[in-house]
Structure 1
Amino acid sequence: MDLKPLLNKLENYHTEKPNRVFTMYLNTDPADPDQQGGEWRLQLKNGLNNFETYLQEDGDSDEKRNYWAVKEKVQHYINENERNLKKSVIIIATADEDIWFAETLQMPVKTEFFWEEQPQLRQLKELQKSFPKTGIILTQKDQVKYIDAELGTVKDTALYELDLDTEDWRQHQGPHRADSNLGSGGAKTSKKDELAERFEANRARWYKSIAPELDQIAKKHHWERIYLVGPSDEVNDLEQHMNKKVEGKINKNLLDHEETKVLNEVV
């Protein structure tokens, strides 16, 4: 998902009877004192039923059928994702699926329901402004990892490792190894000591070689904010050779940490 083009489309979207746009912001945050018993389920049921009651009284059978079609899709999405709900759910939908936006997010929202001629975007715009497309680049010696995130949610991630024989950076395939070629912590063999010394001697040059690739990744993912995370010497070298502006630097070794935890700590 790239939210900017979607918002551009939604801002200019308008329907006429019997078509309508359904917009839902649903608070499902288990840490919210008002959600300790899963009250969101009752709020969802009441929110959906209120529109149905109104449409029954209004008597427009075509609009009623359109609403029922959307309601069925919303209930199906919630049932499919109930075990993976986070802090909120946002759904914007039309009966003909010309619009279908559904996301479970780590960001809280205020529960609201709309069935109107246009999508209601105030909360979504506020979230996008607070948590835009973000790239987190983590370094740890001969490993560089990026996390692509939006609205406080991890969208993509990849790990690059330096081949010390060819001096090429290669995207790592398969499960991530906990330690790098250079080792981390504990007693090091003389071989690892030798490799570590070689890395320090060539670090600036090797980070310079991967910087253009990271710039291209930032462009591809439309990052509006970039954070560098790692030892100060490493992130400073990387920042020096990147063309993209860096929003902030965090001097911690977080490369091996779970991506969502990294996102929460950095952003």
Structure 2
Amino acid sequence: METNTKIAIIGCGNLGLSIVNGLLGSKGFDGKNLTVTKRHPESLFYLQSQGVRVLADNKEAVRDADLVIMGVKPYNIVPILQEIRPFLVKEKVVIASLAAGVTIATLKNELDPGTTIFRVMPNIAADIKESITCICGENFSPESEDLVKAIFNSVGISITIEEHLMEAATVLGACGTAFVLRFMRAMTQGGIQIGFDAKTANKIVNQTVKGAAELIIQKGIHPEAAIDKVTTPKGSTIKGLNEMEHHGFSSAMVRGVVASYEDIKK
């Protein structure tokens, strides 16, 4: 990321603040190059000690911006783009929208022709720099793509996908967080039933899930290959797995993913 890139985050809520923290923790990034806005900005004033400009005025925030990150709710995206459009004065200003379900076509209608536009879908793990962020865009150069990916790599990892997959990315990457957490809750409940107190069961489950994910990531293997390493003939693991499948575990997960996708596509 170029250290002199001027970044404005419009509507700096929880997700925007995660991005702020990621940027401020990035090597070579100067907080003086960052401006954030919020309708009632008082809760962000503490960022000023790190050089960040904190404003309530969106128009003022974007005047010198090279990159504008739109962190506002989907129903606010059009009116706020209309508000700031006359003040996007940089020749190659980049717009990155976090608004779920708002298409590039919608964003284009409110911006000057040829404006570089990205749709970006992080998840709540950005708060601990472990997000998976899916990105798609239009009218972008390799340089602008690298810029946007560098910013979201500061809060996890990012990948570029085609726009028609953004709703699917929302389901797997954002809704999926809740799916995994529900599985963890159920596993903890099972742990309590077989003898653990809630705190100990939760600690075991948390580390087990973290370890399983890291195993797949670091070894680069398919989950089924890792499962084969744990299951032994006539063992307790395969008995438990088969019992779950008899009750539709995998089917229920797939149906949940598809149900969320069908709902978000309405």
TM-score, structure 2 normalization: 0.25
More helix by share: 2
Bigger Rg, which one: 1
The structure, 1 or 2, with the larger RCO (C-alpha pairs under 8 Å, 6+ apart) is 1
TM-score, structure 1 normalization: 0.25
